[in-house]
Amino acid sequence: FKALGLYYASGALSLAGAYQTSRERTATGANLTVDNQTEQGFGGKYNFGWAEVNAGWYKIHQVTPTAARDLAIPSNNTTSYWLGAVFPITTTSRLGLQVGQTKGDFKAAGLPEPKGTTMAAYYNYSLSKRSSLYINYGRVDNNAGSKLSLIPAAYYARIRPTVNGSDPSALAGGIVHLF
């Protein structure tokens, strides 16, 4: 396992990047063949004062069997990118908007290459230095080759679409208090 990450910040600009590679099995059962699996990502944020804008890109080259890791986008190479902004509405509230897309390279017979577009919005209102109210909304628009959920693959108990082309959405609200 090897990894490298870099971070740069100057004034209103922040940039970050990371690369890692690991040796992984390329098959299941008695096949013990290994190969390099790689992940890389880059992102940045700029604070204009009236808004903070962020963007990023992430790619993974998987060598494990396509169906073994995540059935949401069964691909060996998955690429994601996103663009977002946070707007201060008042001194105690802010609105965040984000859109992103994830694409895979595995094309099943009769289906398009898997692709899901995620859109999200949140509003946060500070009640005090340690408490705030929030409301969040998120939606994934999957094409006929994809069934992405709103929760990353690492969360085993996530609610997953069971049919390609399903478009999950979620609305949440609550209070956060820091102890």
pLDDT, tens only, 25-65: 666 666 666 777 888 999 999 999 999 999 999 998 876 65
pTM surpassing 0.85? no
User: How many domains does the chain contain in total?
Assistant: 1
Judged against a pLDDT cut of 70, whether residue 88 lies above it is answered with yes
- Looking at residue 105, which CATH number applies to its domain? 2.40.160.10
Closest of 145, 165, 141, 150 to residue 104, by C-alpha: 145
Judged against a pLDDT cut of 50, whether residue 67 lies above it is answered with no
Domain hosting 129: range is 2-177
Supply 14's token pair: 């922040």
Phi and psi (nearest 5°) for 46? -135, 130
Q: Out of 72-76, 111-115, 125-129, give the one with best mean pLDDT.
A: 125-129
